[in-house]
Structure 1
């Protein structure tokens, strides 16, 4: 009896091993079809859309190419398809309750979708197909039940390779949504280096940038297999599906194989520059029209200069604290050219016949009544040029231009952080000896935009 038990146990063990050896763990074989033929395009499908979710009753077949994959868990319950293998013009998503869909509809597969009985809808700018979802009596496109998926979605025997659309970040607004795209020469922004792709169990946005500082959002699932992986530090190419959430364009990768960052990062961009060749060249307080006031700057250099983080400060009357300032960021002053700033752009254009380079508010440094003091300051806080004496009211002094004009002499080619009367020709009504007490009228007595 004891030996019989041993024999039976050995037989069962052999049987179990034999069964395990014969198990096929490869991906399931999905039969393809050559019988179905497409009879509607993506564009024509969208024309069927009514108000809200629309059920399709016609015997229609749509063909498309699978571009998503749930293999790494960054996609769930959705299949993205586009209309062409190369240069797609449209894409859409199919909502379905079908796990491990990549085993049946792998990325790059051509599929045929029997549309009859499915629901068509739109979320934002994204076209959707699927089943129905009802909430408080409102019907919308929801996930197609798993048992119905293979009754509607068929694998075609025709094959090919889907080529991602090559896109530069500045061109992204003109790219069709829900299509496979590739960006080259991009990297993650410096402040995110060292972070993981996503927070655990949370959708997380990371930011891509190119060497011109154009940016793109990368959307990652907190359940993806690579959620805890650290963002790569280098530069290179990335492939994914372009989607839109509200107004924000986003990229979703299938897995880490979509990222090929093997190049050096972009060189650091220096956006703050200093120069002593930028200076105040004319100040205007016309006797006949206070709305025609302006400040003119001049660049005597042979190259243009970006005024990022430059400021123009005003010290009203005898004040030693800044009364107002103008941030010149976003402006570039061309080589050997002026930059005219007006506190009343409409009146300025009416009087002088052209628009100022920068329109600012009243009571700003460009709106002085002639007894204030001004400083031009570079991005590093250094005073490059000054008009007047800080702490001294200009009335009755050699830096008063009330009802008149202060113009920089043409032989001056650099700013001066200390006010020097000899660099200026000044007109006013009550200024100190050496100035010209002759009020000036606009437009005839002023030359905005022209270096005298």
Structure 2
């Protein structure tokens, strides 16, 4: 009996030992070289890239490049790719290799020096991003660069025993970005989240999600986030500051991928000084916001204004909302008003003046927003308007885009267009029956009765 127990114990110990060895082999496919004279870089990134002539090719020569890892998949924002650059500081170029290996940061830490044996690998260029790896036939029947199988990684990617180097991100600006920076680590300053993405999570669960960043000059870049990342549920920061990440490209647009959330430091005031509270009791879109009054007084063009009204039960954050004006019969936008930074309370109006000073002189109170004479609020009554939310959805419209308002049922020249009180929602299709319109012609069932300020208008009232 004792001998049987000893045999079983020994058997279980042996199986456990074998299992641990197999598991180690499965997760440790990377070869390490130390001061080997047999494996040294013999070509440059630029020389390898020059082999590409418009079509994916398999590299036949015994070429070896070396570089320093810039990416890190520990937080789950990178998957199936390694990004590396030619120098740890002030790099000239970057590269990408696609690999079928999870938790690659355990083998290729940031700043690690790697040597890539290129013979047998495939080289391609997607939107200016040079990548190497395996190959597969895509849906269109052509070739695409795919992930190098885990079983082949040991044969092509070697890690050096040199101590990892500190990768210093290249400080640059959105205006200075160019393709030589692709796959390298960069840092941008004075950057903020676009108002349309404030109060949103970094990513939709289990989906690759693009968020917009911008600088103080309005230049934009895509922030590429994984729905599987550790910080997927975190809310995008509302301030401004610096961000570090690996530069990529989608189509003609540059994109940035951070390694983890510590790559973002947006603790400074935003470019325009606005503060955006992410309050669950405040909506970010609603069809209860609509045009309620448009004014072009016959006696005073300086008293022109546009009024919005919120008929809903909750306040609405107007971050990313805008009013678009289409002058006369134009089909392209003539001017806009960015409503970012304002909240319209439930049951309240929001008045935009063409001239704030003159508006206050005439009506006795200050408007909520000071527009310009050439902006939407400065219309002379024959233009068309759209109210657009942060998602680009047309919430409400006045007039017919492409049709000059003169003589039509959407002309309010020298007059007034006022929304009927039983209208409680925006309408993305112009509907004349929702309006009472005064002008100086009376065409198309409108009312020929020019209006004078202040007595003919009710800004701030609904």
Give TM-score scaled by structure 1 length.
0.56
Q: Is the 8 A contact 1:32 1:156 kept in 2?
A: yes
1:157 pairs, out of 144, 157, 161, with: 161
Change (3 A) 1:153 1:139: same
Change (3 A) 1:43 1:214: same
When Rg is computed on C-alpha atoms for both structures, the one with the higher figure is 1
Map 1:363-382 onto structure 2 (within 5 A).
none
Q: Is the 8 A contact 2:202 2:232 kept in 1?
A: yes
Please give the per-residue CA displacement for 1:71-100, whole angstroms capped at 9, x wherever unaligned. Answer: 111111111112222222222210111222
Aligned equivalents of 1:198, 1:148: Cα separation in 2: 32
Map 1:54-203 onto structure 2 (within 5 A).
54-135=57-138, 137-158=141-162, 159-173=164-178, 176-203=181-208
Say if 2:310 is the partner of 1:309: no
Q: Is the 8 A contact 2:223 2:256 kept in 1?
A: yes
Change (3 A) 1:307 1:53: farther
Q: Is the 8 A contact 2:80 2:101 kept in 1?
A: yes
Worse-matched range after superposition: 241-250 or 44-53: 44-53
Aligned equivalents of 1:144, 1:240: Cα separation in 2: 24
Say if 2:40 is the partner of 1:37: yes
Change (3 A) 1:30 1:210: same
Aligned equivalents of 1:137, 1:214: Cα separation in 2: 37
Map 1:326-341 onto structure 2 (within 5 A).
none
Q: Is the 8 A contact 1:52 1:140 kept in 2?
A: no
Map 1:338-349 onto structure 2 (within 5 A).
none
Aligned equivalents of 1:364, 1:42: Cα separation in 2: 60
Worse-matched range after superposition: 247-256 or 172-181: 172-181
3-state SS of 1:31 partner: strand
Aligned equivalents of 1:139, 1:193: Cα separation in 2: 39
Q: Which residue of 2 aligns with 1:264?
A: 269
Q: Is the 8 A contact 2:111 2:165 kept in 1?
A: yes
Give the paired residue count: 306
Please give the per-residue CA displacement for 1:245-289, whole angstroms capped at 9, x wherever unaligned. Answer: 1122111111112122333333437xxxxxx9x9xxxxxxxxxxx
Please give the per-residue CA displacement for 1:311-349, whole angstroms capped at 9, x wherever unaligned. Answer: 7656xxxxxx53x699xxxxxxxxxxxxxxxxxxxxxxx
3-state SS of 1:80 partner: strand
Aligned equivalents of 2:405, 2:271: Cα separation in 1: 39
Aligned equivalents of 1:213, 1:165: Cα separation in 2: 21
Unaligned 5+ residue runs, structure 2? 275-299, 303-370, 386-401, 407-412, 415-438, 442-452, 455-462
Q: Which residue of 2 aligns with 1:232?
A: 237
Say if 2:216 is the partner of 1:211: yes
3-state SS of 1:150 partner: helix
Please give the per-residue CA displacement for 1:348-395, whole angstroms capped at 9, x wherever unaligned. Answer: xxxxxxxxxxxxx9x999xxxxxxxx99xxxxxxxxxxxxxx949xxx
Q: Which residue of 1 aligns with 2:56?
A: 53
Worse-matched range after superposition: 168-177 or 201-210: 168-177
Aligned equivalents of 1:198, 1:163: Cα separation in 2: 27
Aligned equivalents of 2:242, 2:374: Cα separation in 1: 30
Aligned equivalents of 2:93, 2:121: Cα separation in 1: 19
Change (3 A) 1:308 1:166: farther
Aligned equivalents of 2:238, 2:45: Cα separation in 1: 39
Q: How far did 1:308 drift?
A: 6.5
Aligned equivalents of 2:377, 2:177: Cα separation in 1: 34
Aligned equivalents of 1:196, 1:189: Cα separation in 2: 13
Aligned equivalents of 1:80, 1:311: Cα separation in 2: 50
Change (3 A) 1:325 1:143: closer
Q: Is the 8 A contact 1:312 1:325 kept in 2?
A: no
Aligned equivalents of 1:145, 1:207: Cα separation in 2: 34
Please give the per-residue CA displacement for 1:190-217, whole angstroms capped at 9, x wherever unaligned. Answer: 3423221100111111122333333221
Map 1:317-328 onto structure 2 (within 5 A).
322=382
Aligned equivalents of 2:194, 2:142: Cα separation in 1: 42
Q: Is the 8 A contact 1:311 1:325 kept in 2?
A: no
Q: How far did 1:235 drift?
A: 2.6
Q: How far did 1:125 drift?
A: 0.9
3-state SS of 1:97 partner: coil
